[in-house]
Structure 1
Amino acid sequence: MYSWGNWELCGKLGQGGFGEVIQWRHRTTGREIATKHVNKLNLNSLSADQQIKLSERWNKEFNWARQFQHFPHIVAGVILDKEDPAFLDYLNARHTAKLPVIVLEYCNGGDVRQQLQRPENANGLVEFEVREILCALRQALHFLHSKCEVCHRDLKPDNIVIQRRADGKKVYKLTDFGLARGTPEKTILQSVVGTRHYFAPEVVETGYYNSSVDYWSMGIIAYELATGELPFIPHQTPKNILINLIRKPANCIAITEDPEDSSRFENQFELPNEHHLSQPWAKEFTKWLCRPLDTDHKRRGQLASDEVQSVPVVFAELDKIHQLKVLTIFAVNCCKRLEYAVSADMTMADLIGLIVRDTEMKVEEVYCVLPTFHPQKKITLQTKPLNLYVEEWNDTSQDWCDLGKETRKAAKRKNPPVMLYVFQGKEECEYSVPEPSLSVLARKFMSNKLKSEAKWMLKRVALDMLYVLNKEQTIYKMFVSGVNEHALSLEDEMVANPFIDNINEQLLTTTYAYEQLKNLRTAAQGEIPTTQFNDGAEWENLTHNYEAIIKHAKAIKSHFESGLRSAQDMVKTTNQLLKDLGDKDIFDAIRFHQLYLCNGRSISPVELKNAANQFVTTRFQLHNKGEVKELSKAIDQLHFYFFKSKVPVPVLLKKFDEVKSEIFKMHLDMMKPISAAPPPMLQLSDAMDRLTMNYDAPISDAFDSLGTNSVIDEAERINNMLIREMEIDHC
């Protein structure tokens, strides 16, 4: 088959047992479609009865595909009958079987199986993607079962395809209805169909089943999405699998083989630790898994009694956990990712209490920083934790690099890894990193305590190590992102700080008032040389106070400006560090995956130990010898001194007002003895009219010499404190 007319053949998308899927692109419009064809060689290998059954299923899939035109989570058929009948005739004329070619919308993001095979997803997908896929699958199945009365019967990650939108968002769609058939209510099906590991126990055990087999397959897919592995000893024989499934308790969600005794199997009631789900959601997700993975198909297919419509319990419970809102936080000083379920009645005090519990910081030390572009601009005690939750930031997947150039350009910026950063707010902050946790199985294997060389166990050990590598890389990237956000937050806080502007204003107005008074005194003596002022001591005192406050104000201003320059330099440095980090594979996780999890390779105890040692060395260098930690400490110190330096500024501004009050008082005193000399008085009056001073009300009290000394003492104290504690230019 070749390109035809305006349609360009792009290549084969995939191949199944009896068919293959081909991609086409329209040269003029750019539209892409997928066509499904029967494979002639495989068709000829079937008996006459089998060919008839295949034809029946093919025609059903053809008709169903043409019906699914507007449902977002099922791949829609493309009807070319009127749009391009000549091309459709070309396809059908060259079809090896006397069956119609099935034309479908093209989904450009591959399928979920391919997504699971990426190195970073070897231990399961991130929570956002697990939620999105299960939500789409739930919608698709409910539509098939209730509206179309169709049971899919072949659910698996390969049959969930991905449509990439122009903004980069993924839409998951169910496809491949080759094994689907109508399931009117209470109809029992009798045929063993589906893909091994995904079909329900009753399919093999009795051959009698209904649409609840799709719920079982959904549960298997859900477990695989969350952990990267199938739940029920997939390496074992079908007989052993079935025997253990029949015996398992209702709340068992996985079965594993004892690595020290291959004849012993253990029921698991919790998810393995190696997953990427948040703790609150994983807890509820584990409870839900018991429902679809119940071997009793009657309980599995039970309808929810409190629903207006007939909604299966498995869907109703999934809808509830899908509504769970998990606030993600990274505590920078202890390198911990924190996750809390938030609700409308939760207070900020409640959230701080949880943070204190999990970080061992004091309440007064907890300092929160919002990521850039967070819709919540400021945090106060009245802020609701629910308002810190950002729905669209749940997507922390790392596959944006797979987008095409144009799609990347149109896509939104990459989401931050968490919704809130927490720091320790004190002068000398403490930093720590939790010890990485390698599974018990991997530790036993590394110490040669396990003699088995079963492939499943070697793969499990390699997966456990890979999980540690990927998790620690994620944590380090969060650490660098948090330090960067701290620097950005500090810079913003300094820029928004009004004190520099206030000091500048006071310097201008006070200097102007003092110089005007000085000029007026000089002018008055110039007009009447015999003029004598009886305020020599006061003038000398005022001059001393004025010079002292100007000197100290300039020093404080200089320190503020120096701090701002340091903060801006820190922002540039952390921006560059974050940029350099990019998608860098810090711990060689991709290489580890290629060496020990691809092409049938396996790992030995020596290789695992070497990989662990290399990881520990790299991790130590990053967290203890790297520049990020020292830079974070410098930002902490600068932030502390900036906060501390703001404390005396209101006192300084008050002293400015007192000096200006002294200037004003001397103006009033000058007016009294000069009544017999109109010309200088008129000049003084005119000059007074031009004075601009910033004070709330005239101070008519007698000059308080003790107050003046306090001004000088306070200014000197402020200056000494700043010189001693705020030498920050070197930062």
Structure 2
Amino acid sequence: MNNSLGYFGPWQLKRQLGVGGFGEVHLWQNVKTGQEIATKSLKENPNLSKDEVAKLHQRWEQECQWMMQCDTPYIVRGLNDRVDQEFIAYLTERHPWRPLQPVVMEYCNGGDLRTQLQLVHNVNGLVEFEVREVLHALRHAIEYLHIKCHIEHRDLKPDNVVIHQEAGRRIYKLTDFGFARTITENTMLKSIVGTRNYVAPEVLDTAEYKNTVDYWSLGIIAYEVICGNLPFIPHQTLYDIVTSIRKKPAKCIAITENFGGEKGAKYEFHERIPVENHMSPVFLNKIENWLTTALDQNYHTRGTRLAPSSKERTLTFYTELDAILAQKVLTVFFLPTLKFYSWEITADMTLLDFRKLVQGETGVADIYCIFPTGHPRPVLSQTYKPIDFFVEEWEHNRNGNNPPVMLYIAGMKCEYNAAPPEIPTHFKKYLHSKEEIPNWLLSSIEQSTHFLLSNEQFHLEAFVGGLKEYALTMEHEIFQYDTDQNGNKLQQYFNELIEMHGRVEQFGVNIEAAKQASAAQIENCDGFFGEWCARALKFKEDFATLEGLKNKVNRYYKSGLRRAKEMAINPFFDQLKNKDAYKLLEFRRHLENVQKVRLNGKERLELCRTAVYDCLGQREKIIMNEHLKYAYSAITSVQMEFGMLKRIVHHSLEELVEMRNALAQNTINFHTKILNIYKSGKVQRTTLAQDGSSPIIVNGNSEMANSINEIFQYPLTSLIEEVTGRIIQMDIDEDMNRNSDLPATIDE
């Protein structure tokens, strides 16, 4: 097929998508409906024998049939049975291998996984979100082929994983069934097919294997998408690769050449994935364990584990991977030390469990949670669980539209203390090597350099972004403290002060008025009223102490709100976040030009050395910058002052409640004593208002009754009911506080 075809009916040939040793792929579009399809056709090859031609015919027809048979979102579907047959006939007529039909299939618009891995920013592997997406798709594709179709693919590799981008998300699909074969019961296949570095060792070693070859290939792909490298010395000869794999221990998941090492230790066997990757430790630890069964050199036991109870081998290849991919990993950035953390969050985990996790890894118990802008849970509630912090849409934390983490944490009493950078092992061993370094090792050193630069840039962006979110959160909390209609503590505090001021003043005035009105009629007047005037004075003094805190509360509130606003709009944060501080983009351009410019080993090594030293020097200037340290300390001090403000208000409100109850009780006591004095007959005939509105004639003195009626504003019965109600409410509040969950700061 050639590009001169142009049109057939509504179908227009758009362009060639790819070409290989045997065939080529083209993109077609229906100009009426907009539908896009891909067509795969064979190229002419006069050098093939009759047997080879016959075998190719058979494989091609089988591939076309299998692709139409597969009906799953994880495998590219063949459309030969769904497209206008006249169009199929048109394509077949122009196919160099007619009467074989070209394979018509759904078009995936994002290229293939190999192309993604070759992008310079993916030199250290994909981000965790994309790794999970790739493994999820391929895991289901393999199981579908093995269980539903009884097919083994035998050529799993990034080149055969295509991508369809839809609604901003990549959908990965398996394609190319050129080497696929039907799984036959109790029969070991003996043909040698596959692609170097992805094919299972038994295929090359004995040519006897079964469908577990696909498990091995997926393990290789998993390792590669995680760190950007193939696991088993890909630069070595096929003989050395297979021989080394046969020697690897059961827990070994990678083999590297020990350049410059001691004699007899040419290769190193590794149980861990290189640290230069973008995975969370939670994911990495479990995927490394899964890789031990996926990369089991024994194809009979590959993908299985010994069951603890029966001691028999059971297939765990899918269930283990499913459990890993189902993890909900909460990503957190701890501002004081500029460190990322990640924890697996479960539905039954409590805030107390979460605090223990944080304390266990950071050593800090008194923490403050900061939610990035746009978080569905913008304010920490005592009813939340850690699972509420998890935001599925933000798992792709390297997407510029998403925050780098789901939660920032500040240490309430934790000093700014940036953790030292992690220097990759390759730098320590080879950066000053005087030996001529081979290309494969130079590539590894360049990968390590890129990781250092990109990792430091990511930490810097997370830190300045976190500082801005910290300031925004403090501004919002302080502002809400004075405007929240559901619980306006500040206004309640001010109102309670005003009301209590009136109550205290009234209490003293009432006593003084009673003293003046009764001076001529009550025996030992001075002694009796002296005690009560002292009580009134004590109430005034206690209230004056509480009222004196009002100025401090006002000062903290206005100062905190002003400073938080200033920090939230400080352009310094955005400038620093968007700055290529460590010349990462410059180094990426170098990586893109390595092959074009053909730099020698010394030049490449010198570029890495310069990039590393520049990065470390610049990091010291930026991270320890006085402006940045001041920004952190300023926001922290605002948060601490606001915490003090809330404690003052909370304590004052409690004191005001106690004072109000005490005033009410003292009013009742004073009222009662006055009544007892009058009832005892130690005064002249007097009328006393007992309910505050209906005078009761005690001894017929109505003038005295009116005077005392004015003194007591609160009827005796009403006062007793009010005090009783407040005591009950205090008991309820005490129980609620005792049984409530952790407060917003998750204090001890």
One fold, TM greater than 0.5? yes
In structure 1, the gaps of 5 or more residues are 401-412, 518-534, 699-731
- Which residue of structure 2 lines up, in the alignment, with residue 258 of structure 1? 258
User: Partner of 2:731 in structure 1?
Assistant: none
Q: How big is each residue's C-alpha offset from its partner over 1:549-598, in whole Å with a ceiling of 9 and x where there is no partner?
A: 8886466335413422332332233xx56655666543222321331464
1:609-655 CA distance string (max 9 Å, x none): 21112101221222111644322211100110111122232465578
* 1:501 partnered with 2:491: yes
Q: 1:432 aligns with which of 393, 400, 417?
A: 417
Matched, 1:337 2:321: no
Matched position secondary structure for 2:624:
helix
Deviates more, 1:311-320 or 1:505-514: 505-514
With over 3 angstroms needed to count, the CA separation of the structure-2 counterparts of 1:485 and 1:59, relative to structure 1, is same
How do residues 245-644 of structure 1 correspond to structure 2 at under 5 angstroms? 245-260=245-260, 264-300=266-302, 302=304, 312-343=315-346, 348-361=351-364, 363=365, 365-372=366-373, 373-375=375-377, 377-378=379-380, 380=382, 384-398=385-399, 414=402, 416-426=403-413, 429-447=414-432, 449-497=433-481, 498-506=488-496, 553=550, 556-557=553-554, 559-573=556-570, 579-580=574-575, 585-596=580-591, 598-600=593-595, 601=599, 603-625=603-625, 627-644=627-644
Distance, in Å, in 2 between the alignment partners of 1:508 and 1:212 is: 80
User: 2-side partners of 1:648 and 1:550: how far apart?
Assistant: 11
Alpha-carbon distance between aligned partners in 2 of 1:246 and 1:295, rounded to the nearest angstrom: 7
Q: TM-score, normalised by structure 2?
A: 0.76
CA contact (8 A) 2:490 2:649 kept: no
* Count of equivalent residues: 654
CA deviations on 1:221-269 (whole Å, 9 max, x unpaired) are 1111111111111111222222222232333211111111598222222
**1:485-513 deviation line (CA, Å, top 9, x unaligned):** 32233223223322332245357768999
Deviation, 1:318, is: 2.1
C-alpha distance in structure 2 between counterparts of 1:696 and 1:352, whole Å:
41
How many angstroms does 1:150 deviate by? 1.1
Could you list the per-position Cα deviations for residues 270-303 of structure 1 after superposition, in whole angstroms to 9, with x for gaps in the alignment? Answer: 2222222222322222222121212211111658
CA pair 481-588 structure 1, distance change in 2 beyond 3 A = same
What is the alpha-carbon distance in structure 1 between the residues aligned to residue 85 and residue 609 of structure 2? 63
Q: Which amino acid aligns with 1:620?
A: E
Match of 2:138 in 1: 137
Q: Is residue 111–residue 158 contact of structure 1 (8 Å, CA) maintained in 2? A: yes
Distance in 2 (CA, whole Å) between partners of 1:7 and 1:511 is 86
- How many angstroms apart in 1 are the aligned matches of 2:417 and 2:549? 40
Provide the residue aligned with 1:715 in structure 2.
none
| Counterparts in 2 of 1:379 and 1:335: CA distance versus 1, 3 Å | farther
| Residues 241 and 425 of structure 1, relative CA distance in 2, 3 Å threshold | same
Q: Cα 1:92–1:557, aligned 2, differ >3 Å: closer, same or farther?
A: same
Q: C-alpha separation between the residues in 2 aligned to 1:451 and 1:312?
A: 48
* Alpha-carbon distance, 1:376 to partner: 8.3
For 1:77, the equivalent position in structure 2 comes to 78
Question: SS where residue 585 of structure 2 aligns?
Answer: helix
Once residues 546 and 298 of structure 2 are traced to their aligned partners in structure 1, the CA distance between those partners, rounded to angstroms, is 85
The 8 Å contact of residues 155 and 195 in structure 2, kept in 1 or not, is answered as: yes
Structure 1 residues 112, 585: CA separation in 2 closer, same or farther (over 3 Å shift)? farther
Contact 2:372 2:406 in 1 (8 A): yes
**Which residue type is aligned with residue 425 of structure 1?**
M
Structure-1 separation of matches of 2:407 and 2:314: 37
Distance in 2 between the 1:313 and 1:545 partners? 71
Q: 1:247 to 1:507 in 2, by over 3 A?
A: closer
Q: What is the rounded CA distance, in whole Å, between the counterparts of 1:578 and 1:109 in structure 2?
A: 34
Q: Quick one: distance in 1 between partners of 2:556 and 2:294?
A: 64
* SS in structure 2 of the partner of residue 284 of structure 1: helix
For the residues of structure 2 that align with 1:27 and 1:581, how far apart are their CA atoms? 47
Query: Which whole-Å deviations, capped at 9, do the CAs of 1:371-405 have from their partners, x for residues lacking one?
Result: 4424485265x86545544444332243x6xxxxx
SS at match of 1:333: helix
- Provide closer, same or farther for how the CA distance between residues 677 and 477 of structure 1 changes in structure 2, counting only shifts above 3 A: same
- 1:430-488 CA distances to partner (integer Å, 9 max, x unpaired)? 111222222232223222x3513200111111111111111112222221232233223
Matches of 1:567 and 1:672, distance apart in 2: 58
Q: Quick check: 1:80–1:88 contact (8 Å CA) kept in 2? A: no
SS in 2 for 1:25: strand
In structure 2, runs of 5+ residues without a counterpart are: 482-487, 508-528, 675-686, 690-700, 725-748
Aligned residue for 2:215, secondary structure, equals helix
Looking at structure 2, the residues matched to 655 and 209 of structure 1 have their Cα atoms a distance apart, in angstroms, of 80
Aligned-partner Cα distance in 2 for 1:275–1:92: 47
Q: Distance in 2 between matches of 1:627 and 1:108?
A: 46
> What is the aligned counterpart of 1:64 among 59, 63, 66?
66
Tell me, yes or no, if the aligned pair for 1:164 and 1:170 is still in contact at 8 Å: yes
Which residue of structure 2 lines up, in the alignment, with residue 22 of structure 1?
26
| Contact 1:304-1:312 at 8 Å conserved across structures | no
RMSD between aligned alpha carbons?
Answer: 4.3
Please name the residue that 1:522 is paired with.
Answer: none
Kept in 2, the 8 Å contact 1:444–1:450? The answer is no
2-structure distance, mates of 1:338, 1:638: 25
TM-score (norm 1): 0.78
CA distance in structure 1 between the aligned counterparts of 2:504 and 2:471, rounded to whole angstroms: 40
Alpha-carbon deviations, 1:74-103, whole Å to 9, x = none?
A: 11122465x534433333333232121211
Matches of 1:161 and 1:505 in 2, distance apart?
67
Letter in structure 1 aligned against 2:268: E
Q: Is the 8 A contact 1:232 1:255 kept in 2?
A: yes
Q: Which has the larger radius of gyration?
A: 2
1:319-339, CA deviations, whole angstroms, 9 ceiling, x for partnerless residues? 233344433322110112123
Select 1:2's aligned residue among 2, 6, 23. Answer: 6
> Is the Cα–Cα contact under 8 Å of residues 513 and 660 in structure 1 kept in the other structure?
no
